[in-house]
Amino acid sequence: MIPLFLVLIYVLIQGGRLISLQLLTELPPAPGLEGGGIGNAILGTIVVTLIASLIAIPVGVGGGVYLSEYAQDGWFSKFVRFGNDVLAGVPSIICGVFIYSLIVATRIFFDQSFSAMAGGIALSVLMLPTVIKTTYEGLLLVPQEMRMGAYGVGASRFVTITQITLPAAFTPIATGVVLGIARAAGETAPLIFTALFSPFWPEGLFNPIATMSVLIFNFAIMPYEAQNELAWAASFVLVIMILGANLLARWISHATRA
């Protein structure tokens, strides 16, 4: 708890005082100029995280359902679960390098190199193990009798999963997904060389895009006061967003249990 509060208080002092409407809605200033904001980075973080979620949630929930409901408990499912745990431990920068070589360096999307899409895909690789694991473990908690009840009234396996088992495991799955999003939204390393950065508003999914974490990384080491302050302000906003996501996850797990 102490490190959490130290970080929060420090970021609050350094960044909180800079919060204003202008900060949230304007572009960052050119080096040497004053004022400006981090609006493009906030929007970019949302866009990139959204792309990551759109990939990681269907694939991850599907993977969890496969492991829990379809796979025989043999070597293959053990191997997949082990692989998933290993993937969860892969350093995020490795995910970045992987997507860099797979998508950025090959210019696979419309001959574009760095892009929001590449950033989103890199983050989805990070989210995937969390989503798979929470889905799998959430489904294991659903009592077998519940499935039997559905089969007993003539439900097929597909109907049982989509209408009974998955809704019954909604809480742990939703909690895991939100925590996965929160983790992905704060990542810097995989974005530096996939989404890169842009001082402008997002120009579509296949161009470089600004994100808060990369903005912090870039601006904190610049020799300009205005940029340093924006980095602090962005830190504050990012921490609040991630804190909010974590609180949302807690709220989901409480609200739906009652």
Partner 1 sequence: MASDVCMSLQDVTISYGSFEAVKNVYMDLPKGKVTAFIGPSGCGKSTVLRALNRMNDLIPGCSLKGRVIFDQHDLYDKRVDPVEVRRRIGMVFQKPNPFPKSIYENIAFGARINGYKGDMDELVERSLRKAAVWDECKDKLKESGFSLSGGQQQRLCIARAIATEPEVILMDEPCSALDPISTLKIEETMHELKRSYTIMIVTHNMQQAVRVADMTAFFNAEAVEGGSGKVGYLVEFNETENIFNSPSQQSTLDYVSGRFG
Residues in contact with partner 1 by the rule CB under 8 A = 72-73, 143, 145-156, 159, 163-164, 167-168
- Residue 113: what are its φ and ψ, rounded to 5°? -90, -90
The helix/strand/coil state of 127 is helix
Give 67 or 212: the residue with its C-beta nearer to partner 1.
Answer: 67
CB of 173 to partner 1, least distance (A): 14
CB of 69 to partner 1, least distance (A): 11
Give 111 or 145: the residue with its C-beta nearer to partner 1.
Answer: 145
Give 25 or 256: the residue with its C-beta nearer to partner 1.
Answer: 256
- Residue 109: what are its φ and ψ, rounded to 5°? -95, 105
- Residue 112: what are its φ and ψ, rounded to 5°? -90, 145
CB of 78 to partner 1, least distance (A): 15
Give 15 or 138: the residue with its C-beta nearer to partner 1.
Answer: 138
- Residue 97: what are its φ and ψ, rounded to 5°? -60, -40
Identify the residue whose tokens are 């890169």. 196
CB of 141 to partner 1, least distance (A): 12
Give 106 or 156: the residue with its C-beta nearer to partner 1.
Answer: 156
Q: What whole-number distance in Å separates Cα of residue 158 and Cα of residue 16?
A: 50
CB of 248 to partner 1, least distance (A): 22
Q: What whole-number distance in Å separates Cα of residue 209 and Cα of residue 202?
A: 6
CB of 133 to partner 1, least distance (A): 22
> In whole angstroms, how far apart are CA 109 and each of 114, 207, 235?
10, 10, 31
Give 34 or 73: the residue with its C-beta nearer to partner 1.
Answer: 73
CB of 144 to partner 1, least distance (A): 9
Q: What whole-number distance in Å separates Cα of residue 96 and Cα of residue 108?
A: 16
Give 251's Cβ-side CA count (13 Å radius).
7
Would you give the end-to-end CA distance of the chain in angstroms?
28
Give 69 or 187: the residue with its C-beta nearer to partner 1.
Answer: 69
DSSP per-residue string spanning 89-119: HS-HHHHHHHHIIIIITTTTBTTB-S-HHHH
